Amino acid sequence: MWSGCRIAGTAFERMRGIMLSQERFPPLLIRFNAPGLKRNALHSFFCPSFDAVFLDSSGRVVDVMAPAPRNSAFIVPRQAYESVIELSAGEAERKGVATGDVLVIG
């Protein structure tokens, strides 16, 4: 069970993500309308260092970037994904998140 996630519920919140956040921030869940790679790409401009946990539609972790590349215009995981959790840098390792895990968001 993953608790304490903020949910990016609007298009603007999904676009903004964690831009201009402090170094430590609450986890942010971003859901996309359908699975994909390039069309769901992230960027890291104006973002603090962060970990990205990419999930498929069942909540299975398809990739973990810990940390995600800095100042990158195009961040995509190895497999198509439907949502991503953006975490403060180091949180994915601290929580022991790994590819293949199934996360329940609550």
Asked whether residue 18 is assigned to any structural domain, the reply reads yes
The C-alpha atoms of residue 75 and residue 42 are separated, in whole angstroms, by 5
The C-alpha atoms of residue 106 and residue 102 are separated, in whole angstroms, by 13
The domain in which residue 54 lies consists of 6-95
Number of compact structural domains in the chain = 1
More confident residue, 24 or 100: 100
Q: The domain spanning residue 56 has which CATH number?
A: 2.60.120.1140
DSSP string for residues in 3-62: -S-EEE-SHHHHHHTTTT--SS---EEEEEEEEESGGG-B--TT--SEEEEEE-TTSBEE
Asked whether residue 104 is assigned to any structural domain, the reply reads no
The answer to whether 44 and 69 are in contact (CB under 8 A) is yes
The C-alpha atoms of residue 59 and residue 39 are separated, in whole angstroms, by 19
pLDDT at 1 over 60: no
Q: What is the pLDDT of residue 3?
A: 75
pTM: 0.90
**Each residue of 18-73: pLDDT tens digit?**
888 888 899 999 998 777 767 788 889 999 999 999 999 999 999 999 999 999 99
Q: What is the pLDDT of residue 41?
A: 84
